[in-house]
Structure 1
């Protein structure tokens, strides 16, 4: 089986016929290996793939030594797992071996279900379930701002420095710098470096001592090229802006397609052909779209400063990257978007690097004061992890990036602390709305004349029937707890205030409260209120009347429905002028707390 690295394209063949097991078992283990190294698994490098292959080889050795021999995957039992566990008893690596085997076989469809369940359920003492992250896999808003601010700072400094160096070179070539000018010698070295990709050297091949006055080779090259740290900052920034894999971004080409046919600096969108070898030969080539800001929004962002707000547009960052790496491509003889000059040559004697690697990320983090993952603390700066950058970017945008929406939901958002928190907020809000809806739909209990007679004759029985204290029933009967349209069982236990505090709600909201009770002596004032609310409808804004008064009229209608027409007619004749005045004041809001 052939494995291809995502970065660089290095490959290695893994031969499963060398495993000392039956051919059917070899094929089964090869399928398990393929599932482990393909997306969305995290195996991207030959080193990791080799470790997986070696772990499968260790398990194959256990299967090959079993008696009777294992003929296929269906013959694997829990005893084989125990033998694998006992094989490394007493070794510090036992936990790692057993846990790694779980990761390889836990979702294997060929393994018997009972064996797979036993593999998942049991693990050595002290081992943790690696399916559950031991620490956050994304950055908080504060950490995100800290990282991206540092990245933007490095990009700005590189842009300003290189443009200043090219400006000096341009003035020198236009003969606008005199021979006796202090910058003439520096400009001459920049011209040499731009044309040859090298500096003034002695016969022995070492840089001329005269260059030390200018800061050495690194300073001269940095005036026209990105440093490896700045190249890495560009890749990390684009990863944070797009949510693409760092390895995919670092391999972006310098060539692009412009659907609108416009020049790069005026194009609204460009298309790049990126590659992800792990997707297989049929799907490794993907098209990535980089968009600019709409003109109207760009005008707003550019209004405060003359500097174009390139950090709001991935296309503008890509355009700037191509501008600053032109010399690296010319002398490095590559077509990638990234490039940098390093004063120390590689093993092949190359001074030009064409793409950032993982060790560049670690070097950039160390230079800018970010710790490695193992030494990071919750109080200090965060560690730099390219996978966390991608996870955070996807969690912030909630848009699939080079994967399906299902993959985004299952592999990224489901494990995101930010998304989990947002989901809890949404669910809590929905539950509150449902509770509020239930309260709005709460029907006020109506005590009939029979109940009133019972309460006067036997308060204890009436209280038991109403599920209220005797004291509350007595207060309701006497009218001491009346709130104009109903009686209140406990105004210090309101849904609108803390327990023990008086209810601050308007009397119009009493009919929505679980504490409200309607009695026969409330019927006249309830009819007066219903009549006045209905009379207000033609004189008020329809939306206002619907929002403020329609729910109250509906609740009054529910209460009045418990009485006969004769009872309602008799109550209407009993309405007093004082009751009409009180209803008018309540409807005007004169009794509401200000």
Structure 2
């Protein structure tokens, strides 16, 4: 059954999925999730023909789980480097079964010290292990050696750095949102017949109607092919903001919107390429708020777990959903135009391209529809940072800042959250110092509370001390647990944690019996109850036994008196607790 409850349609009769490896054994076809194909020709590798065919077979086997050409191209580039390495050996192997441990060790030594190198080692190893001839033996053992994960090179922003990036993006996107909103309202008034015919606003509304239907303002085409904007005086200029930018975002403004979304929600850059328009659901008990259901794609989550839904509410100017409302308003004219030009999924992140005729080369990303492009590419992110006076694409660092500030996984697992985002991040490390320090002191106090806190003496009792059920007290008035009316409020078991306690050989028999009785409670009490009530007392008795010595402790059990048994029974029954 399909997700909506309809019976899934079977494939046509005779349907057969073509294998990725061609019959010539040298070309591998990788199909991405959009259905586009890309061919990789292993005949181009500078190794012997048998090696080319073996690498092609292993690459084809590895490609079965890939859904993007980008992944395939990254692996291909690494295999190409491996082939160049093999060709440079004194005795290049003719096939994979000719690989030697020495060659693989040399390959490893060249790459193990850098992030790029470790990534290359891991990718090549995964392909080579697909060959059954390398499943056992010394070469297999060498391939099985652990390759350390690349160290994250991006750090989260300092607060001042983040503020600069977000402020830059806010200025750009807000200006575009206001511009498009103003012109959209003017267009709606023109279409509703609310403007005086022939007035300046009416004439601009007519141009906007043409723009909304075609994606461009009216232009004059001269015999030489040059195009010039008609009505440029009416529009106030020829640049994009005065012409087609009146209804459409450009790439810079769309990238600014993506930066703001990443800062707010921690989404990956790749999320924006095929992000559907959020749907709107009812907000319980609310009449002035809107709750959006946003489909979030998790590219590395594995089959069946690629998508999740986040509910985001717009309940006011400072609410998270307000940015989504503005994004919907700013992209509405472009989405309407895209729907009129071609049927297909309604994608949120759409902009008007400065170069509508540019060839579509990245088949992992949606193709342009007329003058409209979708999503934000890596090149667009780097270009945005450059023209905005910032250093480097902001998306990885912005996402890292949001994730570390949120303190929980976003679009990734708990293990990835801790190993890739929390532990390596210097900002998190700085902010954690006070928490770690407090934890260390707390652990130290807990450790101190679980050991005997008094004094062990080898002589007899001191007549100046007051006898208790477990030890002699040096100064009851100086108790760490004073009673409101004066004196000590602690029970007699807690005497063993008090610095005023003095234990002499006369106490050993009673304490050894108490130790034995507390140990016996483990078998009759639930673990939780025992830990809460008796574990600290047992730890102090263990510590006291070590100080007295195991031999003396065992001998003391032979000297237990009836009085010792009576007091221990009261202690274990907690009849001597305050």
Residue number in structure 2 paired with 1:523: none
Query: 1 CA distance for matches of 2:180 and 2:85?
Result: 56
- Residues 1:97 and 1:291: Cα distance change in structure 2 (over 3 Å): closer
Q: Deviations over 1:519-554 (max 9, x none)?
A: 99xxxxxxxxxxxxxxxxxxxxxxxxxxxxxx9xxx
Match of 2:102 among 69, 74, 78: 78
Query: 2 CA distance for matches of 1:330 and 1:265?
Result: 29
- Residues 1:386 and 1:117: Cα distance change in structure 2 (over 3 Å): farther
SS at 1:14's partner residue? strand
Q: Aligned pair 1:53/2:79, yes or no?
A: yes
RMSD in angstroms over aligned alpha carbons? 5.6
SS at 2:228's partner residue? coil
Query: 1 CA distance for matches of 2:83 and 2:258?
Result: 37
Q: Deviations over 1:177-210 (max 9, x none)?
A: 4357554433332233224433232252422264
Residue number in structure 1 paired with 2:123: 104
- 8 Å Cα contact 1:63/1:80 also seen in 2: no
- 8 Å Cα contact 1:16/1:30 also seen in 2: no
Query: 2 CA distance for matches of 1:100 and 1:438?
Result: 44
Match of 1:242 among 260, 265, 289: 265
Match of 2:350 among 332, 339, 346: 339
Q: How many residues align?
A: 447
- Residues 1:346 and 1:393: Cα distance change in structure 2 (over 3 Å): farther
Q: Which runs of 5+ in 1 are unaligned?
A: 89-93, 123-128, 373-383, 455-478, 488-505, 521-550, 567-594
Q: Normalising by the residue count of structure 2, what TM-score does the alignment of the two structures yield?
A: 0.58
- 8 Å Cα contact 1:483/1:507 also seen in 2: yes
- Residues 1:36 and 1:242: Cα distance change in structure 2 (over 3 Å): farther
- 8 Å Cα contact 1:228/1:360 also seen in 2: yes
- Residues 1:417 and 1:162: Cα distance change in structure 2 (over 3 Å): same
- Residues 1:275 and 1:130: Cα distance change in structure 2 (over 3 Å): closer
SS at 1:178's partner residue? coil
Residue number in structure 1 paired with 2:391: 371
Residue number in structure 2 paired with 1:229: 252
Residue number in structure 1 paired with 2:445: 436
Match of 2:311 among 291, 313, 317: 291
Residue number in structure 1 paired with 2:275: 252
Query: 2 CA distance for matches of 1:317 and 1:58?
Result: 51
Q: Aligned pair 1:485/2:478, yes or no?
A: yes
- 8 Å Cα contact 2:455/2:499 also seen in 1: no
Query: 2 CA distance for matches of 1:9 and 1:242?
Result: 30
Q: Deviations over 1:26-69 (max 9, x none)?
A: 546864797699789x99366534422311322453579447x5
Q: Give how far 1:286 is off.
A: 3.6
- 8 Å Cα contact 1:151/1:237 also seen in 2: yes
Q: Which runs of 5+ in 2 are unaligned?
A: 1-27, 360-367, 464-473, 481-486, 505-535, 545-560, 564-578
Q: Deviations over 1:482-530 (max 9, x none)?
A: 895379xxxxxxxxxxxxxxxxxx9999x9999767699xxxxxxxxxx
Query: 2 CA distance for matches of 1:416 and 1:113?
Result: 40
- 8 Å Cα contact 1:159/1:324 also seen in 2: no
Q: Normalising by the residue count of structure 1, what TM-score does the alignment of the two structures yield?
A: 0.57
- 8 Å Cα contact 1:332/1:352 also seen in 2: no
Say which is worse superposed, 438-447 or 228-237, in terms of deviation: 438-447
Query: 1 CA distance for matches of 2:61 and 2:268?
Result: 21
- 8 Å Cα contact 1:138/1:391 also seen in 2: yes
Query: 1 CA distance for matches of 2:71 and 2:234?
Result: 41
Q: Give how far 1:144 is off.
A: 3.0
Q: Give how far 1:370 is off.
A: 0.9
Residue number in structure 2 paired with 1:200: 218
- 8 Å Cα contact 2:157/2:398 also seen in 1: yes
